[in-house]
Amino acid sequence: MRAAARSLALLLGLMLCSPLWAADHLKVEGYPLDNGLQLILKPTAERGHVSIRLVVGVGFDQFDCSHKEMPHLLEHLLFSGIDESGEAGLEERMQALGGDWNAFTRDSDTTFVIEVPAANQRAALDLLLAALFNTEFTAERIDAAKRVIVHENGEHPAAWQRLLGASSKRNDATEQVAAELGQACAEQDSLERLDAAGLERLHEQWYVANNMTLIMVGDLDRRLPAYLERRFGELPPGPMPELRELPESTGHAEPERTLTTGLVGDTAQVNLIFTEPWVGELDQGTWQLLRDYLQWAVYRDLRLEHGLAYSPTVERSAYGSSSFFSISAEVARDDVAQTEQRLHDLLQRLARDGMDDATVDRLRSVALARQNWTAQGNSALADTYWSSLGSYEEGRFADPAPELRKIHTAQLDAALNLLLKQPSYQRVEQPLLSTNGLYGVGAVAVVILLLALVGLISLLRRR
C-alpha cells in the first residue's frame, strides 16, 4: 500500500510538474524504496533526454593498499558482457538504445553513468541491471579487466627511476606527500592478489539495495514510478561490512624533495602543499573561497606580472583522514628558485596585509553564479546531485549560497594565517637532466671516449 501511494504521488508530480518547480534545482522528488534503495528523481523541461547515475556506496577507501583496486576492477568487470557476445555485444545493446554509458570509481563510491533518449530510459535501466547482476566472473574476463587498469594507471617506473627516487604512482605531488604521511598508498596495487573470490565477496556485500542511490534527471517517463518499484524494489538488501577507518597522519614527511619524472626536459613543476586545518562551521565555504582568492592572486603574480608560469593552479584534495591545500606551477627549470620565492613572498604579504575586500566580494559573486551555471542541463544537474549526496535530506539538497554569503575577508585572513602555521611541503617535479645538461653529459662522454681511444692507440704503438 505504501509503495502504491508513493508511486501515485510521484506520478502526480511528473504530470503536474511546473516550470517553477523544475527551475528550483535543489528540490527533487526523493524517497527510499522498501528495500532501502534511495531514489532521487528530477523532471526537467529538457525534452527527449534522461541522465542516470546509479551510485553504489563502495570505493577505494574501503580497502587496504594491497587490495585498493578491488572496486575499480569490479567496475570494469561489470562491463565485460552478460552472454557469449561479451563486452562488444553489451556495448552494442546500449548503442541500439541510442545511449552512452561509463562508470567511475572514487574514494567513497562507484557510480554508473548513463545518457539515454527519454523513450528508452527503462530499457537502459534494464540493461544496467543485467550488467550489474548477470555478469560472470571468469578468469579470462578478470585478466582482461586487470590489463585495462594497468593501462589506466600507467607502467611502473624502470629500475633507474626507482634509484633516483621516482614513485610507482603516476599521480600528483600531493599524493606523494600523503603517501609519506601514511595517508595514501606508496605503491600501486599490483593486482596479483585480486581474484574471483574477492570480487564475488565485494559484489555480494556492497552491491545491495540499501547501499545504492538512483539519480534520474530529465524527461522522466510517467510509468517510471511503477517500474522502479517493481524492478529496483526487487533487489535484495543486506548487511554491509563496517566502514574502514581512514588512516591518520604519521606527521613524518620531508619538508623539501625533488621528484624525478623523466630523463630529459627543460620544465619543472613547483608544488607548495599544506595540510588543511578545520576552521569551524563555515569550513567548506571558507576554504573554497580562499582557494578562489589565491588562484587569482597566484595567477596575477606568476603569469601576468612576472611571466613565470602560464597556468598556475590552487587545488584542494583529500587523502585518508586529512585535507590538503596545494599551489602548483609549471615553470622553466631555471626559474624554480625564483618561483618558490615569489610564492613565499606572496603568501607572507597576504598574511601580513590581509586580503582585499573588493576582490573577496567579486570572487564570492563568481562562486554564487557558478552554482547556477554549472547545473545547467540534465547531465550537469545529475552530476551536481551525485557530488552533493552528503547534503541531501527529505527531497532537497542543501543550498551552499547562504554559507558563502556569511564568509567575509576577516574569516579568510584568519584561515590563511592558520594555514601558514601548518607544516608545509615543497615538492619540485622535474626530469633528471635539462637539455643543456644532456649536452654536457654527452660532451664529457665524448671526451672520455676520445681519451680512451688515444690511450688504446698509444698502448698498441708501444707493442
Give the pLDDT confidence of 294-319 residue by residue, as tens digits.
Answer: 999 999 999 999 999 999 999 999 99
Specify whether 62 is located in the same domain as 128. yes
Q: From CA 253, how far away is CA 179, in angstroms rounded?
A: 9
Instruction: Report which listed range, 1-5, 31-35, 182-186, 373-377, is most confident.
Output: 31-35
Is 247 within a domain? no
Specify whether 425 is located in the same domain as 451. no
CB 314 within 8 A of CB 295: yes
Is 95 within a domain? yes
pLDDT mean over 380-391: 96
pLDDT value at position 292? 97
pTM for the whole structure: 0.87
Buried b or exposed e, range 121-137, using 16+ CB within 10 angstroms: bbbbbebbeebbeebeb
Is the confidence at residue 154, as pLDDT, over 90?
A: no
**Chain CA centroid to CA 159, Å:** 29
Q: From CA 60, how far away is CA 183, in angstroms rounded?
A: 12
pLDDT mean over 200-217: 97
* Pairing assessment for the beta strands 313-319 and 256-260 based on DSSP bridges: unpaired
Cell of 88: 562488444
Could you give the 3-state DSSP secondary structure of residue 149? Answer: helix
Specify whether 342 is located in the same domain as 459. no
Could you give the 3-state DSSP secondary structure of residue 127? Answer: helix
pLDDT value at position 168? 46
Specify whether 319 is located in the same domain as 224. no
Is 251 within a domain? no
Specify whether 198 is located in the same domain as 334. no
Specify whether 458 is located in the same domain as 414. no
Number of domains in the chain: 3
pLDDT value at position 17? 52
Residue in this structure with the C-alpha cell 614513485, named with its chain if needed: 167
Specify whether 273 is located in the same domain as 345. yes
- Looking at 198, 231, 264, the residue that finishes a domain is 231
Is 311 within a domain? yes
pLDDT value at position 160? 47
Using one digit for the tens of pLDDT, what is the confidence trace for 398-422? 999 999 999 999 999 999 999 999 9
Is 245 within a domain? no
Is 242 within a domain? no
Is 239 within a domain? no
Q: Which of 401, 183, 436 is nearest to 282 (CA)?
A: 401
Is the confidence at residue 391, as pLDDT, over 50?
A: yes
Specify whether 373 is located in the same domain as 450. no
pLDDT value at position 437? 62
Specify whether 269 is located in the same domain as 363. yes
Cell of 443: 660532451
pLDDT value at position 331? 95
Average pLDDT, the chain: 89
pLDDT value at position 449? 82
Q: From CA 227, how far away is CA 229, in angstroms rounded?
A: 5
Specify whether 447 is located in the same domain as 324. no
Q: From CA 277, how far away is CA 36, in angstroms rounded?
A: 35
Specify whether 288 is located in the same domain as 367. yes
pLDDT value at position 166? 52
CB 277 within 8 A of CB 301: no
pLDDT mean over 7-14: 52
Q: Tell the burial category of 31 from Cβ atoms under 10 Å away from its Cβ (0-12, 13-18, 19+).
A: middle
Under the banding of pLDDT at 50, 70 and 90, the label for residue 155 is low
Is 377 within a domain? yes
Using one digit for the tens of pLDDT, what is the confidence trace for 60-90? 999 999 999 999 999 999 999 999 999 999 9
Under the banding of pLDDT at 50, 70 and 90, the label for residue 436 is low
Specify whether 57 is located in the same domain as 126. yes
Which CATH number does the domain housing residue 75 bear? 3.30.830.10
In angstroms, the Cα distances linking 211 to 61, 103, 140, 437 are: 15, 17, 29, 55
Q: Residue 452 sits in which domain range?
A: 439-463
